[in-house]
Amino acid sequence: MNKQDVVAVVLGGPSSEAEISRVTGGAIAAALREKGYNAKEVELVPDRLIAQLHAMNAKVVFNAVHGKYGEDGRLQSILEAAGIPYTGCGVLASAVAMDKSATKRFLQSAGVATPRCLIINKREAGDLAAIRAHIMEAIGLPVVIKAATQGSSIGVTIVKEAEGIEAAIADAFTYSDNVLAEECIKGKELTVALMEEKGEVKPLPVIWIAPHSGAYDFHSKYTKGATDYHCPAPLDEATTKHVQDLALATYHVLGLSGVARVDVMLDEKGQGYVLEANTIPGMTPTSLVPKAAAAVGIAFPDLCERILLSAK
């Protein structure tokens, strides 16, 4: 591409994460302009997007939309239909990664380590007492109950007593028709960013996430200073490689593209378990992917340029 070509940084939209997306998108557009690109922010209005992109003669879309549309395959399919190249994952990979129950099935069928889990559908919700008994037998306590299609730790409860299972499931059903009851992994919470460049995918250094409260919930994620992030994580070489290999396997099994982040829990024996993949990770200068890139000497504007150049 040419540096005069218009790059549309699409952000915002109708998702509950629109505000964070605007911060991510604004930072990306500013960074690309700093690198000499003709980048323009475009607020996502789904039924007007293509007309808008044509009107501004956009050659490529930098997708900065978190959650609904940007992360679930809808934006990707609108752009595919219009023949406009875009950064990040395609339609199917986005849709699968957005749904933790679909992700789980992909990982399990490929033999990628992920916590043991039961998937409960809303049509079974009438008999929560039976479901509770099933969870106690198949998973045990503590158990992590979570909605299949939510982010930011919303709709996630770590249940320590059997009596709490039904309320946690009922809460998770308010967000999504499928709910996961997952084995709780005790140990370190890690995340691995992966970058695609010239068709090759490489994991960046592992980040260890250490929330002061002990739980990586909404507060720990979005309150300044509530969580310490260590990059590279203080792990021995073999464990680092094990965790990066799990992230890489997840990337390939889900068919991801561009930059993505895979969350991994590492238990006390050093075995990693994949929780989920994030296909539109936060990209403010203080977000996790830029932190991991900085650890290998890639500055934020360079990171944004590399992502842009991986658009297809």
Q: Which of 152, 153, 220, 310 is catalytic?
A: 152
The Cα–Cα gap between 178 and 172 comes to 8
Nearer Cβ to ligand ADP (37/106): 106
- What are the φ/ψ torsions at residue 191 (nearest 5 degrees)? -145, 145
Pick the stretch among 58-66, 92-100, 122-130, 259-267 that binds Mg ion (CB under 5 A): 259-267
Catalytic residue check, 124:
no
Catalytic residue check, 182:
no
Chosen residue from 263, 274, 292, 308 binding Mg ion by CB under 5 A = 263
Q: Is residue 17 a contact point for Mg ion (CB under 5 A)?
A: no
The Cα–Cα gap between 51 and 39 comes to 18
Nearer Cβ to Mg ion (132/188): 188
Minimum Å distance from CB 9 to ligand ADP? Answer: 24
The binder of 182, among Mg ion, ligand ADP, none, by C-beta within 5 to 8 A per type, is ligand ADP
- What are the φ/ψ torsions at residue 3 (nearest 5 degrees)? -70, -15
Catalytic residue check, 152:
yes
In sequence order, the 6+-apart residues with CB closer than 8 A to the CB of 281 are 193, 259, 260, 261, 287, 288, 289
The binder of 66, among ligand ADP, Mg ion, none, by C-beta within 5 to 8 A per type, is none
Of 211, 248, 213, 255, nearest in space to 230 by CA? 211
Catalytic residue check, 57:
no
Of 306, 304, 246, nearest in space to 272 by CA? 246
Catalytic residue check, 105:
no
Q: Which residue is nearest to ligand ADP (CB)?
A: 216
Q: Which of 182, 183, 263, 305 is catalytic?
A: 263
Minimum Å distance from CB 212 to Mg ion? Answer: 18
Count other C-beta atoms under 10 Å from residue 218's C-beta.
13
Nearer Cβ to Mg ion (78/265): 265
Nearer Cβ to ligand ADP (7/266): 266
Catalytic residue check, 16:
no
Rounded (10°) angle between helices 91-98 and 74-82: 170
Q: Give the SS3 label for residue 197.
A: strand
In sequence order, the 6+-apart residues with CB closer than 8 A to the CB of 296 are 204, 205
Q: Which residues pair with 228 in a beta bridge?
A: 210
Total binding residues toward Mg ion, as defined by CB under 5 A: 1
Q: Which residue is nearest to Mg ion (CB)?
A: 263
The binder of 70, among ligand ADP, Mg ion, none, by C-beta within 5 to 8 A per type, is none
**In the chain, beta strands by DSSP E:** 6-11, 38-43, 58-63, 117-121, 143-147, 156-159, 178-183, 187-197, 200-203, 207-211, 227-230, 260-267, 272-278
Positions that interact with ligand ADP (CB under 6 A):
115, 144, 146, 150-153, 156, 182-185, 189, 216, 263, 265, 275-276
Minimum Å distance from CB 166 to ligand ADP? Answer: 19
Catalytic residue check, 161:
no
Q: Work out the angle at residue 188's Cα, subtended by the Cα atoms of residues 184 and 192, and round it to the nearest 5 degrees.
A: 105
Catalytic residue check, 229:
no
Q: Which of 189, 217, 276, 305 is catalytic?
A: 276
Distances in whole angstroms, Cα of residue 214 to Cα of each of 13, 211, 223: 33, 5, 14
Which sequence positions are flagged as catalytic? 17, 152, 222, 261, 263, 276, 278, 282
Q: Which residues bind Mg ion (CB under 5 A)?
A: 263
